[in-house]
Every structure is written in structure tokens, then in C-alpha cells.
Chains A and B, each alone.
Chain A
Amino acid sequence: MTTTRLDERSKDLRRVIVRTLQKARRGHVGAAFSLIEIFRVLYDDVLRFNPQDPKWKGRDRCILSKGHGCLALYALLADKGYFPPAELDKFCAADGILGGHPDAGKVPGVEASTGALGHGLPIGVGIALSQRIAKRDSRVFVVLGDGECNEGSVWEAAMCAGKHGLSSLTAIVDYNKHQSYASTKEVQDLEPFADKWRSFGFAVREVDGHDVAALRATFTALPFAADKPSAIIAHTVKGKGAHFAENNMKWHHKNKVTDQEVEALLAAIGEA
């Protein structure tokens, strides 16, 4: 469990998420708060990208495999100028481009349409293989949920990435130890988690997923081995930043969010 204090940028990004949520009155709050620092560091410090040319060939590819965490991704994409921030006001609206799961055909900067779990890593492996064929040095980052790692296709892809020694590929698991029904330990225990990835041929590091400096240092060390794909197990807290939502399954997916709940979230973020 992490007890990391949030800095102002982390708080501001959470406020963007809450305002987005407020208009739609729904969203996966817990998942977004859990992985926001991972995205923040990726987009602020790690990824090569160009919002003016989202399909620029030299970009690094970043896939949010746990598509339900998209409120965090949207906050960063808007922040970086992929689309006007006003678009956030149309989250889940009929005339908007931002759905409850990210759609690559609609949202600039979204590499793959996800939401059905277990799809991101296989696609990431295919992209990494393509970079290798083309002798390009773009890197591929796939952000997975821990609950998502129940899916067999994740391990099929891990096996494949390990076989090919895809050092350009990094799997990042948002390991908040909760899934929709209950704790991962209760529903489908993933431990020994780091050993699982190692046994599939990954070089693995574990990090506090809310500690911005630690995340930066971890990403800077990529690839962890010259001939292996990398896995980052980011220990996080579901709902991090709003004490009453932390590890509270009622906030996994929330609909009919009230103005009072919005105010409570904003107040809690201020105190985080």
C-alpha cells in the first residue's frame, strides 16, 4: 500500500477527471485515480509524440489496455493538446468523441480501441514486431489492469513477447489489488505476480505507482534488459486521492454521480 502525497499537478489532473465525470455523471473513477501518475509520467517525461501529427511514425506507441481507465488518458491527451479541453465536457455524450472506453477511430492519440480486456498486450506485441521489421526505434507501452491479468490472452501475449525478446515493449500493470467484485486476492490471486512475468521472459521492476520521482527513475532505466521485454508492476491504490473512494468498490464504476459527490471528491483531492 502506498501513502504517497500528491503534488499539485497530480491533484489538478484529478480535478480534470472529476469535472469530466460531473458532466456525464458517470465513469470509472477508481481506475482513473489509480493510474493517473503512470500516465502523467509517461506523457510528461517518457513518450515521444506529436499532438499535431498523432500518427507520426517516429512516435512511441502507448496503449491503455484497461480501457475503463480512460478518464485518466483523456485528461493527459487534452492536457497535451490532442483535442480541445472542451471535448471533456462531452464525455459519453452523443455528440462527443470520448466514450466510456477509448475509441482509436475517434480520439486523436488513442492507438487502439480497448475496453474488452486482454487485447492491448497482443496488439502491442504486433506493433513491436512491426517496429523490429522496419528497424525503427519506437517503443511500445501497454498499460494493463491487475484484474485484466485474469485474461489468458495477456499470458499468451507475454509468452510471445518473451520468445521474441521484445526489448522495445514495456507492460505496465496498474496493480491496485482490487477488481470489480472484490480484492484480486479474493477473486483471482495473481501472486507471485512479479515471478509470473519473469517466468514468461520479462525483466521486471516494481515501483510505487503514485511516486512520480520513482516512476520517472523506473522509466528512465528502460529497457531493464537488452534482450527482454520489460514489465513494471506499479503498486497503486484504487481511487487514490479521494480518501472515501480509496479501495472502495462502490467507486470502481460510478453512475448517477451527484453534485454533492463531486464536491466531496474535489474537497478530498485538496486534502490528499
Chain B
Amino acid sequence: MRENCLKTVYELAKTDERIVFVGSDLGVGVLAEFKRDMPDRFFMEGVAEQNLVGVAAGLAMEGHVVYLNTIATFLSRRCYEQVAVDLCLHNVNVRLIANGGGVVYAPLGPTHLATEDIAIMRALPNMAVVAPADAKEMIRFMHASVDHAGPIYIRVAKGHDPIVTTQTGPFVIGKAVPMRTGGEVLLVTTGVGLQVCLAAADQLAAGGVKAAVLHFPTIKPFDTEALHAHAEGAAAIVAVEEHTIIGGLGGACAEYLAETDLLASRKFKRVGIPDVFPSVYGDQNGMMRKYGISAEAVAATATTLLSARPKPVRIAA
């Protein structure tokens, strides 16, 4: 996904002179072809991320469309004020390509796990937050990103994730994608959570339970219209994400569902990382499984919710 994301930046930059690339201290040879072909628009500025965000803001203030790449935690945690003030307050066209959103860097420990990046980016006015599910969706999104007005946080997954999306048309920022429709259960997800939810829906179907899957490649702006439409037909809703359960996609769903009174006759559950710094290593899939972000656990959560759904309210005569 990351490779395709950066490759698309290069391809877009070849025909659009506004596009500039800014990196921190990335791996050897990253975007070597960009540096070779467009050296005046390629910047690799070292382990100085706060400066990087400010520089990107300055470039964007002058009309450039800036793609800035570094590790997700450094953009979300270290540079939060620069992102808020330099990018969001000025509402400039900087696209933050955030490597390793979620628990991609499981072997490297909690300093490198971006488990609250969606929540903190979602809190910023003007910021769009995008988490494609696979490389194909990432490429479609990247084409849509060029002319979007304002900053974008792009959550990049590990790479070599299975291709699970099927759309081929233009990516529309701010629109949810119904992957499966109809059924007692609605699985709502984002990023690589989509592959988990599709597998969970298969498992539920094998058990005789039909599940809809609504994918949010854009978490902000949040497509409340799609959530509303799909939630209405469901008895149980499960929000699944590779992120803390606080303030991410599940939080966005909970806020909307509660405020529109859609929870009165429905059960709702957030599935994600609990309020902890994950303390084990291993790999991304193992860590996701540990916290219930797996097909089996999501299917089980949905089944439990269905069995606990509220009884119809009887109104006394």
C-alpha cells in the first residue's frame, strides 16, 4: 500500500508541477525516481519532523500541493501543534502520508504504534482523515487527493495486504462504501479492518446470520448519511478498527447513533484496541487478534449482540 501510494505521488507529480514531496529520513532509495526526475521538488529533510510540517505549510501557502511522508506516530504525536496550527488553521493543501497507522510496527513496541492517530486527527477542524483498505483503493484515493481543498491525514497500512475492495471508479473523499448490504448485523469498518469484517461476514453467513459491511475509507468528513441508512436496517452494529476504541471510527459512529436516537432498539459495540499501550510485540495480525480485531472475534461479538438485543418496548395501556 505504501509503495503504491508513493509511486502514485511520483506519477502525479510528473504531470502536475504543483506537487512537491517532503520526507523525513526515509529508507534508502525511497522515491529515487522522483529525486532523479524532479530534484527541485524533492526534499528529504531529516529527523526534524516539526520543521518538516512547517516547511510543508510554507510550500503549500505558495500554491504547492505537498505530500509529506514519515511515520504515523511522529505526525500525530510529535507534530500535533504543527499539524493543528500550520496545516489546519491555515487550511493548506498538505497530505500527510502516515506510515504504519495502527499496529503495523508491532515488533517495534509502543513508541511506534499509532493507535490513537485517527482520534487526534479527527479532532482537528479542516482535517480530512483517510484510511484505505488496500493498495488498489489507495491508488484511487491518491488521484482524488490532488485537488482536495485542505489538509489530509492518510493512514497507510503495512503493505501486501490482500486486495479486498472491488470499486474501480473515482474515489470520493467523504463517502462510505457499502461492501455488502442487508442483514441483521451491520459491520462498520475502516482501513485493513475491512478484510477482517468481510471474513467475519462470511463466518456469520455460514452460521445463518446475514451481515452488511459498510467501509469508511474516509473517517472525516464522516458519511453520516450512509451510516444512518445502513443502521436503520440492522439490529446490531459493530464498529471494527485497528485503533483505540476511544475517539476513532467507533467513536464517530457512537456519537452519531446516540445523537440520532438510533440506539434505542439496536445494540452497538466498538471493537479495537482497549485503553492501553499494547505491551507485547509479535506482528500486526497477532496483535490485532489479541485485541479481538479478527474475523472470529468480530463474528462472536456480533452474535452476542444479536442475542442480547433489546426486547420490543411495551407501552402500558
A, B: real partners:
yes
Q: Are B40 and A153 in contact (CB under 8 A)?
A: no
Within 8 A of A (CB), among B82-119: 82, 85-86, 89-90
Q: Are A157 and B41 in contact (CB under 8 A)?
A: no
Q: Are B40 and A126 in contact (CB under 8 A)?
A: no
Give the Cβ gap from A149 to chain B, nearest Cβ, in Å.
14
Q: Are B46 and A129 in contact (CB under 8 A)?
A: no
Within 8 A of B (CB), among A149-179: 152-153, 156-157, 159-160, 163
Q: Kindly state whether residue A213 has any CB partner on chain B within 8 Å.
A: no
Q: Are A112 and B90 in contact (CB under 8 A)?
A: yes
Q: How many residues of B contact A (CB 8 A)?
A: 28
Q: Kindly state whether residue B75 has any CB partner on chain A within 8 Å.
A: no
Residues of B within 8 A of A156 (CB): 48, 50-51
> How far is B59's CA from A130's CA once the two chains are assembled, in angstroms?
5
Q: Are B62 and A127 in contact (CB under 8 A)?
A: yes
Residues of B within 8 A of A105 (CB): 89-90
Q: Kindly state whether residue A187 has any CB partner on chain B within 8 Å.
A: no
- A113-B89, A116-B81, A132-B40 as given contacts; A123 in contact with B63, CB under 8 Å: no
Within 8 A of B (CB), among A18-62: none
Q: Kindly state whether residue B256 has any CB partner on chain A within 8 Å.
A: no
Contact with A along B50-67 (1 / 0, CB 8 A): 111111111111111000
Tell me whether chain A's interface is mostly helix, strand or loop, or mixed: helix
> How far is B89's CA from A112's CA once the two chains are assembled, in angstroms?
10
Within 8 A of A (CB), among B29-75: 40-41, 43, 45-46, 48, 50-64
Option from B51, B52, B58 in Cβ contact (under 8 Å) with A127: B58
Residues of A within 8 A of B61 (CB): 111-112, 123, 126-127, 130
Q: Are B53 and A122 in contact (CB under 8 A)?
A: yes
Q: Kindly state whether residue B20 has any CB partner on chain A within 8 Å.
A: yes
Residues of B within 8 A of A217 (CB): none
Option from A113, A124, A163 in Cβ contact (under 8 Å) with B85: A113
Q: Are A126 and B56 in contact (CB under 8 A)?
A: yes
Residues of A within 8 A of B20 (CB): 133
Q: Are B59 and A122 in contact (CB under 8 A)?
A: no
Closest Cβ neighbor of A138 among chain B residues: B62
Residues of A within 8 A of B81 (CB): 116, 119
> How far is B50's CA from A156's CA once the two chains are assembled, in angstroms?
8
Give the Cβ gap from A184 to chain B, nearest Cβ, in Å.
22
Q: Are B85 and A129 in contact (CB under 8 A)?
A: no
Identify 26 residue pairs between A and B in the complex whose beta-carbon atoms are under 8 Å apart, listed by A's number: A105-B89, A105-B90, A113-B90, A118-B50, A122-B50, A122-B53, A122-B54, A122-B58, A122-B86, A123-B61, A123-B86, A124-B58, A125-B51, A125-B54, A126-B57, A130-B58, A131-B62, A132-B40, A133-B41, A133-B64, A152-B50, A153-B50, A156-B48, A157-B55, A159-B46, A160-B45
Residues of B within 8 A of A (CB): 20, 40-41, 43, 45-46, 48, 50-64, 81-82, 85-86, 89-90
